[in-house]
Amino acid sequence: MVPQRPMIIQSQFLRHFCPRHTSKAAPFLRTRRHRGIHTATVTDNDITRLASLPLHPLTLADLVKHGRPPLTTQQLLASSNFTLSILPARLAHRIQSLRNLPFIVVANPHISKIHSNYLHSLSTLLPWAEHEIKTLEEEIRFTEVMADLVQTHSNTISILARGFLEARKYISPSDVTQFLDEHLRARIGTRLIAEQHLALHFSSQPHSELMHPEQEEEYRGFNGVIDTKLRPARIIQHCENIVGEICELKYGVRPHVNINGDPDYTFAHVPVHLEYIITELLKNAFRATIENGKEKEPIEITIAPLPNEEVSDSNERSRIEIRNRDQGNTDIASRVFTGHNDESISKATSSYDQQIRPLAHSTPGVTIRIRDRGGGISPENYARIWDYSFTTFNEDEASHSLAGGGSSSGMDALNAISGPGGDGANSLAGLGYGLPLGRAYAEYFGGGINVQSLWGWGTDVFLRLRGVGRVEE
């Protein structure tokens, strides 16, 4: 058993990762740096060398391969070294992609801050990169580095949003969208890797006794940040309560939600990701339903398990592969800014794709359909639902958002619900990141979101998620 950790880290981490509070995920370890985390100078050669390495495509199986907590000493060390083996290259790729943006864009103070944050995190990892973690004392110090990394990047999305909004005159909307699609997907993986080791570390410690009995029972289904017995119906009910209360505050009414299909179905996934996606989809459905005067019409949510079957056909197997570019790992956007031609991009992408391992073909998952009577999406808006909204703001709307304006530009309470990753409650308000970021979370492990709109009637949204498969008890 690993020795007791500093209590300031333990208690805040438990609040962050306890299943009962996963959705709130308040920033933790605010006092992390007073402990004097050792750093090394990051040179351009370091960045070039690490950014030239192929990136490890992440599957949910990677996150649970070290075993179910509490881990043994060797399992905990294996988790540390796996984390250390892939994070430096990921950070270097992000630094390189930021540097390949037009200089006037990188000079924006918000985007420059993100660049500095990545440099700081890489500087804390470099002292560890040249040797294997072999002792529990080293693992303790490495865990503090992981905690520092998670906290440092807690507000990345909102800071980038405001930076690109301010720099919108100097970079095309399509280039911004391409960069953000890549960058935010890569961030999902980096954060998952770090948080998984943190969760495994703390759930393997004696201070798990600090949990209340009912919390301990609930936590037994978790393997790090993965809930191996995730019940989508429970997440939906939680999100319905949050969005419904905000609707009552803003509109004075709230639509009713009917859950049908298989409400008792469970599978293995990251609950905070599902919670963010469902919250965004319910926000859209509730708002459309109320503003279309159909608040008495229930929103129907159907939970349907994906079939658990082997895939032998090579074409079908290729279709469900996780590709590096789907996880933001190929830096296609970065190469656009450096003047590489399509042929070089294609060769680089092909090179990365050779590193890819598909999901287990027998991996169970779920399809969730959300059906509303909110009048549907107009044809002119349908083509833009996956755009980051700041790319279509006019000057008045953009200035209003930057100034923290009110609901006249869409910055109301429904927009203010934050997603996973620590961004503050109002930090993403009105910046239009909800749906495209939700799709990024869905697609990261081979799922997806499809929207079918019947203009004048309503909208069906289909969310597909693949799980981690069977996890040994």
Q: What burial class does residue 77 get, using C-beta atoms within 10 Å of its C-beta: 0-12 exposed, 13-18 middle, 19+ buried? A: buried
Q: How confident is the model at residue 402 (pLDDT cuts 50, 70, 90)?
A: low
Question: pLDDT tier at 421 (50, 70, 90 boundaries)?
Answer: very low
Residue 385, classified by CB atoms within 10 Å of its CB into exposed (0-12), middle (13-18) or buried (19+), is: middle
Closest by Cα among 239, 238, 251 to 413: 251
Q: Which two tokens stand for residue 449?
A: 């979101």
Residue 373 — φ and ψ, nearest 5°?
-110, 40
What is the band of 470 on the pLDDT scale with cuts at 50, 70, 90? low
Euclidean distance between CA atoms 89 and 36, whole angstroms: 24
Residue 169: Cβ-neighbour burial (10 angstroms; 0-12, 13-18, 19+) = exposed
Percentage above 70 pLDDT, the chain = 67
302 versus 365: the higher-pLDDT residue is 302
| pLDDT at residue 389, as a whole number | 61
Instruction: For residue 153, give every residue at least 6 positions away whose Cβ sits within 8 Å of its Cβ, in sequence order, or none.
Output: 117, 118, 121, 187, 190, 191, 421
Q: How many CA atoms lie within 13 A of 17 on its CB side?
A: 32
What value does the CA radius of gyration of the chain take, rounded to a whole number of Å? 22
* Average pLDDT across the chain, whole number: 76
What are the helix (H) ranges across 262-313?
Answer: 271-291
Report CA 182 to chain centroid distance, whole Å.
12
| DSSP E strand stretches across 309-454 | 365-372, 448-454
Order the strands of the 267-269 sheet from edge to edge: 222-223, 226-230, 267-269
Residue 466, classed as helix, strand or coil, is: strand
pLDDT-based confidence at residue 9 (cuts at 50, 70, 90):
very low
The domains found in the chain, sorted by start residue, are 7-217 (1.20.140.20), 225-322+357-388+433-466 (3.30.565.10)
Cβ-count burial of 312 within 10 angstroms (0-12 exposed, 13-18 middle, 19+ buried)? exposed
Question: Using 50, 70 and 90 to split pLDDT, how confident is the model at 433?
Answer: confident
Contact criterion met (CB below 8 Å) for 322 and 59: yes
Count of H-run helices and E-run strands, the chain:
18, 8
**pLDDT reported for residue 293:** 94
SS3 311: coil
**pTM, full prediction:** 0.76
Which of 2-11, 12-21, 138-147, 218-227 is the most confident on average?
138-147
Residue 464 to residue 366: CA distance in whole angstroms: 6
CA 92 to chain centre: 19
DSSP state, residue 302: E
pLDDT over 90 (residue 265): yes
What b/e string do you get for 16-34 counting C-beta neighbours within 10 Å, with b at 16 or more?
bbbbeebbebeebbeebee
Asked if the model's pLDDT at residue 121 lies above 90, the reply is yes
Cβ atoms of 180 and 160 closer than 8 Å: yes
d(CA 334, CA 329): 11
Question: Bigger pLDDT: 430 or 19?
Answer: 430
pLDDT average, residue stretch 210-225: 61
Find the mean pLDDT for residues 444-454: 91
**Rounded-to-integer distance, Cα 381 and Cα 344, Å:** 34
What's the pLDDT tens digit per position in 185-211? 888 889 999 999 999 998 887 544 444
pLDDT at 416: 38
Residue 460 backbone phi and psi in degrees, to 5 = -110, 130
CA distances from 280 to 310, 437, 457 (A): 32, 9, 20
Distance CA 108, CA 166 (A): 8
| Digit-coded pLDDT (tens) for 70-111 | 888 999 999 999 999 999 999 999 999 999 999 999 999 999
Please give the helix or strand (H or E) that residue 332 lies within, else none.
helix 332-337
pLDDT of residue 65: 85
Residues 6+ apart with CB under 8 A from 449: 277, 281, 435, 438, 439, 442, 443, 461, 462, 463, 464
Interatomic CA distance for residues 288 and 274, integer angstroms = 21
- Looking at per-residue pLDDT, the higher value among 165 and 428 belongs to 165
- What's the average model confidence in pLDDT over 447-471? 88
The answer to whether residue 328 scores a pLDDT higher than 80 is no
Which residues make beta-bridge pairs with 366?
305, 465
Residue scoring higher pLDDT (67 or 421): 67
Q: What pLDDT does 264 receive?
A: 96
**Better-predicted residue by pLDDT, 330 or 373:** 373
Q: What is the pLDDT of residue 109?
A: 96
pLDDT higher than 90, residue 114: yes
Pair 133, 142: CB distance under 8 Å:
yes
